[in-house]
Amino acid sequence: MTKLDLLRRHGLFTARVPRYTSYPTAPNFGTGVRDNTFREWVEAIAPGSAISLYIHIPFCRRLCWFCACRTQGTQTDAPLRGYLDTLRAELDLLARHLPADIRLSRLHWGGGTPTILPAPMITELADAIHAILPAAETHEFSVEIDPTVLDDDRLDAVAAAGLTRASLGVQDFAPEVQAAIGRDQSFEATRFAVDGLRARGVKNLNLDILYGLPFQTDESLSRTVAQVLDLGPDRLALYGYAHVPWAAKRQILIPEHALPDGEARLRLFELARDRFEGAGFETIGMDHFARADDGLLAAHRAGTLRRNFQGYTDDDASVLVGLGASAISRFPQGYAQNQVSTGTYAKAIGEDRFATCKGHVLTADDRLNAELIDDLMCRFEIDIDGVAERAGTSPDHVRQRVAELDPDLAELLDPGPRGPVLRHRELVRLVAVGFDAYATGAARHSLAV
């Protein structure tokens, strides 16, 4: 049996499975976690420790059809002013419950389009954050930047706020692909953003590309990859386009007949991956690539790579607090998510209570399954002793859980020095779902490739 036949037999080209940026995944969160739970978890953070902070800005000037993020369109700054006021109130509420001497390890602004904020609002938000959370020694401040919503004033503002890493979405530069996904982003606009960030001392640049887009071909993706490499990024992400119109209604505007099938998606991924590796990038996990001096690569080599809601990370903070509408927080005790609607979120904060509406309290089994899935997703193997230590259980218990894996999935694992090793990395999400106690088949996810 050829490798392609094996991938077909295991359903790689048709299966829909989670990306496992958390375990359990967000669709499995329940309403048992509310504002009082969130408050208790915040107050239980160890005094003097470092935490990470995620700020969600759910606004865009233009809604791209391919995007499944929680965001909304606005052509004026009025909603931004109101939202920023609510964010500042949420920060003040958080500050009242944080233990003493908490420092900020990582700060990430996502969206939406964080740089939709005018320069004075960028400065105001950054100042409000740093007023309650001084930077730790490992501090990194990253922002998702849309090159089509950027000018010199905004560049000056993010740089002055201490930006250390910028993440720019490219998707695909081909005009026919952009027209099919409702995007209009030229190479020149992207070059302006890259050059402007470099000129202001922002040394670390991530670029994101999507494969599996409508009308995307080997030739068009090759041209985009060449242009991306010409921009000189330090880190790359090569994500598969997730066509989920039942979850992201604007995706009904995407012409489904023009989407590459599963086998074409794999070919597109391999084409870009090979070009990146040929240009000196090292593959990290499923879909990230980094140069030799990047911290993500150091974590990959050290075996400390982790998953979070942005994908792969070298952040070792045990607490990630998410602020803003729909933002998700991660604590040692579990997950908590804010109200999705900006109106409902603002109402809760206006009543001087946290906007938590759902989440999940981790059980001992959850912790074990999470570590098994994380090992597979980050290292394509299961380190029996390492999983046992992190999950707070015995190696024999880990071996027992691995032995319970479906035989069709278990045959994809080979013996290794520390434990089972995945034979074909393309199947990692399909094997990971075998350790997901909440996977019922009822939830609908993106394609596995």
E-strand ranges in 64-164 read 72-73, 103-111, 135-145
Measured in residues, the chain has a length of 449
- Binding residue positions for [4Fe-4S] cluster: 60, 64, 67
What was the pLDDT predicted at 442? 54
Question: Tell me: domain 363-438, CATH 1.10.10.10, correct?
Answer: no
- For 303, half-sphere exposure in the C-beta direction (CA atoms, 13 angstrom radius) is 7
Which residues are 103's β-sheet partners? 50
Which residues are 295's β-sheet partners? none
- Binding residue positions: 54, 60, 64, 66-68, 111-113, 144, 171, 183, 208, 242, 328
Domain pair 27-323 / 363-438, same fold: no
Residue ranges of domains in the chain: 27-323, 363-438
Q: Tell which residue, 172, 194, 191, 193, has the closest CA to residue 183.
A: 172
Sheet holding 356-361, edge to edge: 282-284, 288-290, 235-240, 204-211, 165-171, 135-145, 103-111, 50-57, 320-323, 328-331, 334-338, 356-361
Q: How many CB atoms lie within 10 A of CB 139?
A: 18
Q: Tell which residue, 328, 326, 327, 294, has the closest CA to residue 312.
A: 294
What was the pLDDT predicted at 128? 98
- Binding residue positions for S-adenosyl-L-methionine: 54, 66-68, 111-113, 144, 171, 183, 208, 242, 328
The pTM of the full predicted model, rounded to 2 decimals, is 0.95
Q: Tens place of pLDDT for every residue, the chain, 449 residues?
A: 788 888 888 888 888 899 999 999 999 999 999 999 999 999 999 999 999 999 999 999 988 999 988 889 999 999 999 999 999 999 999 999 999 999 999 999 999 999 999 999 999 999 999 999 999 988 999 999 999 999 999 999 999 999 999 999 999 999 999 999 999 999 999 999 999 999 999 999 999 999 999 999 999 999 999 999 999 999 999 999 999 998 889 999 999 999 999 999 999 999 999 999 999 999 999 999 999 989 999 999 999 999 998 889 999 999 999 999 999 999 999 999 999 999 999 999 999 999 999 999 999 999 999 999 999 999 999 999 999 999 999 999 999 999 999 999 999 999 999 999 999 999 999 999 999 999 976 556 778 78
Question: Tell me: domain 27-323, CATH 3.40.50.800, correct?
Answer: no
What was the pLDDT predicted at 255? 96
